[in-house]
Structure 1
Amino acid sequence: MTTRMLGVQAVIPLDLHVRFARKDRIMLARIRTLTARRDAGASAVEYGLLVAAIAAVIITVVVLLGGQLNSIFTGVNDELGTIPGGTGGGVTTGG
Structure 2
Amino acid sequence: MDGRFYLMLSLAAVLLVLAAVIFCGRGDWLIAGYNTASRKEKEQYHIGRLRLLVGLLCLFVTAVLLLDGVYGLSGFFTIILLPVVLAVVVLANTWAKKR
State whether TM-score is above 0.5.
no
The structure whose Rg is larger is 1
- Report the TM-score when normalising by structure 1: 0.31
Give the number of the structure whose residues are more often strand, by fraction.
1
Give the number of the structure whose residues are more often helix, by fraction.
2
